[in-house]
Chain A
């Protein structure tokens, strides 16, 4: 039986086709989230990638900020549950998930069976989210995907003290003008995101194993800084950005069982 999960976020659209709730047979990931053409294109690509037609799908679940506007779904599930399911599928021993997405950060705690027990999300401020990194990468004229490489070469991370994205932006600009190394600045930026999220995570009882999900999980700079700040190793999968969609496909499969 094939099930389908679509995760429509604020900045990206992700889809996963699953067979029998165990095997991932098709995926897609497109830039452009809610309100763009990307969700439809992501669906098309994932189906093509899996060699499966829409008619063959036994169940479809939508998650992410755009979930309620996606009409072609049997279920609309919060990204909290979906990230939990997706992470548990990938790392069966995981108990704490730290998800940093485009516009929010969340910490989800699971019980030993992978059921969500509790969660915490960032407050209304965008600091500590993917958007913060986007803005910073933009002013440094570095592709977001390369932030981690810069981090790895840093000698002494710069101190970014402003929480506010706008103020942090001018702080970065003035440090740049003062001759602070680009690498050190990037490390400082990653560490500032990690610091915000670590304090959120510490409010929930962090039980290992810990993993990261969402787009920012790809960034080893943030991951390492976060791991250091929370005092636990952080598991990482190249599929981290797809956890929401995997979870949605699993949800649809469970429901259809």
Chain B
């Protein structure tokens, strides 16, 4: 194994993109907490629910998936999973759901607390497990659940029928929320949110596209952290500004020939799947110690929501990664792999996420063939630490590296 080059890191500049993005991600929780303290209603929201709706209405929402990731990354995934398993939830159910259901019961997790919900915003464009998870929350907590159904799309385009189906539901959700919270929808405010969200998304896409430079000006694991802001705050002005700062830093890094990947970049890979949060350090060190930079992931593409009007926004939510067919999903990844000159693909067979991991078996084979790159996969879980083996991971990553090395 190559020795990791240890460099003294300067203290974090509060004006840096990293500090600003970290602050925005933390404020997503604290501002909701403050809203709750002021007596306002707070919602729990699924990650690909149209965030423009609560943002335009001025509603405080928090994201259980984000919270679960934070809890898992700080080592409490197993403790929380065991609570919901003791309540009868199978350990086959997504660990985010298990952690969230446990949190709704015990209402405390020092690893990442957040206010209890008064309403739920659910959208199944990522998976259908979401529906049952939120239905159970709704029943346990006796609070309303607002549901937007976005079916899996077997076609490349969003048909007029699907658009009409989804658009009506968006409006229905808006009206339900107006009634529930007393807040009012304003077209003017919506335009503002749409513009900011577009600005944030454009900066994010441009920043992640800096991976095309060799070496990449950033460590791909950065994206997994910064993504939290794309999920929770892309409609906020500070987020747009921080993402633009991130872009300028990456461009500057490239000009200066430096990178946040603090060792020599010998190999470039694409990573597939949600991060293995409980084993983040192990998984990232296994790559970094071998000079493997994970330069890109589908997240680079997934959270770039750019649209011109309400209909276009509806279409964007019909095209999130888990809602599109295998061929379309593959083409997006092949483009990322080629644009960013990746030499290998590492797939996290994430036991929590059935849909995503299920179609990766075939999709990764097709990506490998089309890009002529080796593919390795490892078993793990985004939040349940019990589904990962360090030795297995290490062998597979090393095998992948040895193929890339032999090909050079």
The interface of chain A, by Cβ under 8 A from chain B, is 65, 68, 76-81, 104, 115-121, 123-124, 203
Contacts and interface: CB of A to CB of B under 8 A. Distances in A.
Nearest to B402: A81
A121 B377 CA distance: 8
A121 B374 CA distance: 13
Residue with the greatest number of chain B CB neighbours at <10 A, chosen from A65, A78, A120, A203: A78
22 contacts: A65-B391, A65-B395, A76-B1, A78-B395, A78-B398, A80-B395, A80-B402, A81-B399, A115-B403, A116-B402, A116-B403, A117-B403, A118-B368, A118-B375, A121-B377, A121-B396, A123-B349, A123-B379, A124-B387, A124-B389, A203-B361, A203-B365
Contacts of B379: 123-124
B394 A121 contact: no
B225 interface: no
A38 B165 CA distance: 66
B392 interface: yes
B376 interface: yes
A3 B361 CA distance: 39
Interface residues of B, number: 22
Residue with the greatest number of chain B CB neighbours at <10 A, chosen from A65, A104, A120, A124: A124
B46 to A, nearest CB: 28
B394 A68 contact: yes
Interface of B: 1, 349, 361, 365, 368, 374-377, 379, 387, 389, 391-392, 394-396, 398-399, 402-403, 406
Contact of B399 (A65, A76, A115, A119): A119
Contacts of B398: 77-78, 80
Contacts of A68: 1, 394
Contacts of A120: 377
B374 A117 contact: yes
A206 to B, nearest CB: 14
Contacts of A117: 374, 403
Contacts of A116: 399, 402-403, 406
A78 B397 CA distance: 9
Contacts, number: 48
Given A80-B398, A123-B349, 4 more contacts: A78-B402, A80-B399, A81-B399, A124-B387
Q: Top 4 A-B pairs ranked by shortest CB distance?
A: A80-B399, A78-B398, A124-B379, A81-B402
A115 B402 CA distance: 10
A80 B399 CA distance: 6
Nearest to B349: A123
Nearest to B406: A115
A121 B399 CA distance: 11
B95 to A, nearest CB: 15
Contacts of A76: 1
A116 B389 CA distance: 24
Nearest to A77: B402
A117 B403 CA distance: 6
Contacts of B402: 77-78, 80-81, 116
A80 B387 CA distance: 22
A192 B100 CA distance: 39
A81 B402 CA distance: 7
A80 B404 CA distance: 13
Nearest to A123: B379
A149 B129 CA distance: 49
Nearest to B398: A78
A95 to B, nearest CB: 15
Contacts of A123: 349, 379
A63 to B, nearest CB: 10
B387 A119 contact: no
B389 A79 contact: no
A121 B398 CA distance: 13
Contact of A104 (B365, B374, B392, B406): B392
A35 B375 CA distance: 31
A61 to B, nearest CB: 12
Contacts of B365: 203
Contacts of A203: 361, 365
A153 B395 CA distance: 38
B395 A118 contact: no
Given A65-B391, A124-B387, A203-B365, A118 B396 contact: no
B151 to A, nearest CB: 29
A30 B403 CA distance: 30
A78 B399 contact: yes
Contacts of A77: 398, 402
A124 B392 contact: yes
A98 B109 CA distance: 46
B382 to A, nearest CB: 15
Nearest to B368: A118
Nearest to A124: B379
A153 to B, nearest CB: 36
Contacts of B403: 115-119
A68 B361 CA distance: 29
Nearest to A115: B406
